[in-house]
Amino acid sequence: MSKIQIEHLYKRYDNAENDTLKDINLEIDDKEFVAIIGPSGCGKSTLLRCFSGLEEVTKGKINVDGKRFDNIPPQKRSIAMVFQDYALYPHMTVYNNMAFNLKLSKFSKSEIDSRVKEAAQKLNLTDYLARKPAQLSGGQRQRVALGRAMVRAPEVFLMDEPLSNLDAKLRVSTRQDIIELHKQLGTVTIYVTHDQAEAMAMADKILIMRDGVVQQYGKPEELYDNPRNLFVARFIGSPSMNILKGTLSNKGIFNSGGVNYDLSEFVKKEVLPTDKREIVLGFRPEKVTQVKKSGDNDTAPENSAQKEGFFVLSASKNLAEYMGGHTLVYLKTKDGVNIVTQTPKRIPNDDSHKKLDLYIRNSNIYLFDAKSGLTLQNG
């Protein structure tokens, strides 16, 4: 069993004016796969390095199974790391690459042989044990790196963007290998990636960071459906959430770009301001329920539709991208706001600048405070 608790952790580098990590609090349960995501420079790799012992913790502590972990020398921590760079010895065979750390640790030959062959079988590397890294594909090399970590039987796997060097097809297949390996071993895994889609597909829980601060931590569906703030809402999901900036009156009228939208039947009383407040309205591209030509006879009047549970937005079509299973339609509102919708239908890439009405159910609308970015209302 390996339960991890990170409490009020700070990291500041020598001569730095600001903390790289700020008051990180995190709990990871036994057998969980946790992905850490965020923009470049947010501190996700630094957090991983603090856990591994490659960086010293400035303040706070890390516990594993209730015991202090951050004061243990790095070489004595029961962890195994997998990096973006495979870091394989080119002159060694696959077998010897996987066995190298075990030999340094003075394991018996029989134990080394047993561990290497067992790992090779699980990673489909048995037929490649006599080969050298140059004779392998990128995906196979990454599996060797995984195997080298796996034979150590660690309490925790630490993975720092291990798929970044692979092409799109290999990333998907190797991603599946890692998920399957985690299911077989049940070892706690902390996985750093810049790819939110990768995190959504692989992780039991996701930690989103920004500027060294935890933005939200939870299951993928929690972050997608109930983002804590605008940053999380736009970081999770591809294409990103559409947003409209504007003001909300005390009567529930949302004004954006000079157009009034009656949200009085939708906005909760506690969200209504005493006078006016600046807000951001958001909706996801795939949540556009209907797309109709403006002025069609069957198009409900805007105010009527809003009272029937829809938010209606008019925009001009610029481009349609057919992606096979779905089409992305790029539009622009009258005041120049870019909007993206996703539909399973095939939309022809003609009639550009055609005016369309987009229908979004009120239950799929998000409201955020413009200043703090905090979520005011989810549907």
Return the pLDDT at 295.
Answer: 58
Highest average pLDDT, of 75-84, 237-246, 309-318, comes from 237-246
Return the pLDDT at 179.
Answer: 92
Return the pLDDT at 166.
Answer: 80
Return the pLDDT at 300.
Answer: 41
**In the chain, where does the domain assigned CATH 2.40.50.140 lie?**
240-367
* pTM assigned to the model: 0.89
Residues 318-333: pLDDT tens digits? 999 998 889 999 999 9
Task: State the number of CA atoms in the 13 A half-sphere of 40 facing the CB.
Answer: 0
Return mean pLDDT, the chain.
91
3-state secondary structure (DSSP) of residue 277: strand
Return the pLDDT at 248.
Answer: 96
% residues pLDDT > 70 (the chain): 95
pLDDT (mean) for 332-360? 87
Partner residues linked to 229 by β-bridges = 374
Return the pLDDT at 299.
Answer: 41
CB 127 within 8 A of CB 117: no
pLDDT (mean) for 217-240? 97
Partner residues linked to 67 by β-bridges = 64
Return the pLDDT at 297.
Answer: 43
Of 84, 56, 85, the residue nearest 70 (C-alpha):
56
Residues 190-203: pLDDT tens digits? 999 999 999 999 99
**In the chain, where does the domain assigned CATH 3.40.50.300 lie?**
2-230
Return the pLDDT at 298.
Answer: 42
- CATH superfamily to which 2-230 belongs: P-loop containing nucleotide triphosphate hydrolases (3.40.50.300)
Return the pLDDT at 1.
Answer: 59
Sheet holding 205-210, edge to edge: 79-82, 156-160, 188-192, 33-37, 205-210, 213-218
Q: Domain 240-367 carries which CATH code?
A: 2.40.50.140
Partner residues linked to 170 by β-bridges = none
On the question of pLDDT at 99 being above 60, the answer is yes
Return the pLDDT at 306.
Answer: 55
Written as one string, the DSSP assignment of 190-242 is: EEE-S-HHHHHHH-SEEEEEETTEEEEEE-HHHHHHS-SBHHHHHHSSSSPPE
On the question of pLDDT at 223 being above 80, the answer is yes
Return the pLDDT at 18.
Answer: 95
| φ, ψ for residue 279, nearest 5 deg | -135, 170
On the question of pLDDT at 168 being above 60, the answer is yes
Range with the lowest mean pLDDT among 20-24, 136-140, 345-349? 345-349
- Which residues make Cβ contacts (< 8 Å) with residue 78, sequence separation at least 6? 154, 155, 156
Residues 25-34: pLDDT tens digits? 999 999 999 9
Task: State the number of CA atoms in the 13 A half-sphere of 269 facing the CB.
Answer: 0
Return the pLDDT at 42.
Answer: 96
Return the pLDDT at 56.
Answer: 96
Residues 281-309: pLDDT tens digits? 999 999 998 777 765 444 444 555 555 78
Q: Angle at the Cα of 158 (from 229 to 9), degrees rounded to 5? A: 55
